[in-house]
Amino acid sequence: LSCTRCRERKVKCDRTKPCSSCCARGVPKECHFVIAEGSTYEPVLQSYELRKLRAENLRLKERLRAAKQSVDDEQQDVPSPSQPLGDRPGARAKRPVVKQKRFKDNKSESLYFGSPGLASIVNDFASLHVGSHSLSHSMPRGADMYTSQNTPAYPFATMWLAVATPQSDGGIPALLRCLPPKEDLFRYLDAFQHRAQSCSFPHVPDEITTTEIERFLSDVQTNAEMFPDMLALIFAALALGSQNGVYDKCNGKWVEGAMETEQKKFGDIYIAAAMQALRMASFMNRPTLLGIQTLIMMGPYLTNSGRFLDAWTLFGTTIRLAHSIGLHRNPKYLDPAPPLKECGIRQTLWWWMLHMDQQYSMTLGRPLGISGIGDCPPAEPLTTNPVIVRLSEYINQYTVLARQILSSDRLTVTKIDWFTDRLLALWDTVPEMLQFDETWLEKDKQIPEWPLDAMGAVFFAKTQNYLILLNRQRIEPEIDTSDPPKPKAGERGRSLVITSSRSLIDAFLFFYHRVPAALICWTMGQQAFNSCMILLTDALETGSLANVPQVERAYAVFVELEKLGIHKLAGLAVERV
């Protein structure tokens, strides 16, 4: 059949709906087909055909990618005549590998911390050469570095009945009694929007804006029973706002005991209420976008509370739930396709999860939780500011590169060089005003406004972390005392590890002097702790004290963090350093 417009104009119709002729004239809505009753003829639906072609295209891409991967693996297994003996597969197989310890009764001994990972790099570095002495007794273990010893076993306080329905006293009514007064509620949400956004969560959900919260509170009992996942999101935002707002609440300074008091009286209550509300929403078998946002918010709260391992475990559940609602897929290919606004939220959340996944893997030395990126593209920045646009592009490319590094299980010297150069070249693409250096510690130095200043320092530190993880694998096992010293194959690796460790401490000191509110993020403190241990081990091995003054400055900050009670894990840093 031809459409009515083409028949009137007596032009050829391609018989799709809308046809190409009507589309070329800019009137696709006027393309109509008159089908007689009982007729077996009908137009070809263009949208249906496009959907079929896209699906076929994706299937072919997956087959091509799988075929290419198998060919690459076969090529890597075949040694070339010019390949050094140490880099051949046969020789590589003889290298010692990091094995998981046998499970014992002690729970800390049964935890696996792999390599590469910040959890094991300090011990790897210290075991290189210490003469007749061993430093292994003084090196912190993974289980000690990421969880405090006096922390309760379960991260979510049990305050409700074991069997609770939404209408029972252990259900929604009990949760609503945990909500703070309206004035405090909006103060916490303001703190979340001001401090937590960009550092702990990628955006401010529309559901916790002032207008939406007012609507929710207008009939809170009914709304909470109908949408317990939104109540969970509110509680999670309150917990992050409570944690990140302590500095501002104390008039722009850290007060001794304020963080611990705030956490016990409010933060832990809100995070437990968020989990209980998720249970009311049956989040395990009926996952929603609101529920997944809630779980993502819980991760930074647990990390900053000294519960890194709990956060890692919870994130694994979040990944499964995200897959179950197709968060990894391009929203345009979903059927039915979500609204345009929701598409942007899904893209932002998925790429934030990809970034968190590599962060957990890099820190703990454990496999990536997300096996593939999927076909969900990164969200377009909702701004024309060139600095924000370039920073967003950098973060997306950094996330992909970091995942490639963590997925490479055969790191030759050539590959280490390639990844190292790629990291440094990628950092050069960051807008110049956001490229952190040691001059940012100077009080007279003009730096970007919050949160760009913190983001610039954070991503600088993350780049240095990967440089350490990559290059510590080729540090020379012995010190050359010959005169003149012979050139070393691992010289570049060792110098990069030391330089990156110094740079990490610079970034940590920058937070202390210029952005003290951001000290709540323990990730930066953890990285500085690792760097201090590496630099001190190097000093013991080489006899050079050049880096010790910088470690002393970082140590003084750890002492203050422990004294003020900002972080439970700061005590371990003080003890070990």
368 or 137, greater pLDDT: 368
- pLDDT category of residue 88 using cuts at 50, 70 and 90: very low
Q: How far apart are CA 164 and CA 240, in angstroms?
A: 26
Cα 307–308–312 angle (5° rounding)? 120
DSSP letter (8 states) at residue 448: P
Predicted local confidence at residue 492, as pLDDT: 67
Q: How far apart are CA 414 and CA 391, in angstroms?
A: 29
553 has pLDDT over 70: yes
Name the average pLDDT for the chain: 81
Q: pLDDT tens-digit profile of 5-41?
A: 898 888 888 888 888 888 888 888 888 888 776 666 6
Contacts (Cβ under 8 Å, ≥6 apart) of 446 = none
- pLDDT category of residue 79 using cuts at 50, 70 and 90: very low
Predicted local confidence at residue 86, as pLDDT: 41
275 or 97, greater pLDDT: 275
Residue 91 φ then ψ, to 5°: -70, -35
- pLDDT category of residue 156 using cuts at 50, 70 and 90: confident
Predicted local confidence at residue 109, as pLDDT: 46
Q: pLDDT tens-digit profile of 91-125?
A: 444 444 444 333 333 444 455 555 556 656 666 55
Q: pLDDT tens-digit profile of 410-426?
A: 788 888 889 999 999 99
- The helix, strand and coil proportions of the chain, stated in percent and rounded to the nearest 5, come to 60, 0, 35
Q: How far apart are CA 262 and CA 269, in angstroms?
A: 10
Weakest-pLDDT range from 167-171, 495-499, 550-554: 167-171
314 has pLDDT over 80: yes
Mean pLDDT of 531-560: 92
DSSP letter (8 states) at residue 221: H
Predicted local confidence at residue 104, as pLDDT: 38
Q: Give yes or no for a contact between 263 and 305, defined as CB atoms under 8 angstroms apart.
A: yes
Predicted local confidence at residue 223, as pLDDT: 93
299 or 116, greater pLDDT: 299
Weakest-pLDDT range from 2-6, 63-67, 368-372, 502-506: 63-67
289 has pLDDT over 70: yes
| Among 22-31, 125-134, 326-335, 491-500, the range of highest mean pLDDT | 326-335
Q: How far apart are CA 169 and CA 54, in angstroms?
A: 51
Mean pLDDT of 83-89: 43
Q: Which pair of structure tokens corresponds to residue 251? A: 């008039």
Smallest CA-to-CA distance from 200 within 272, 305, 111 is with: 305
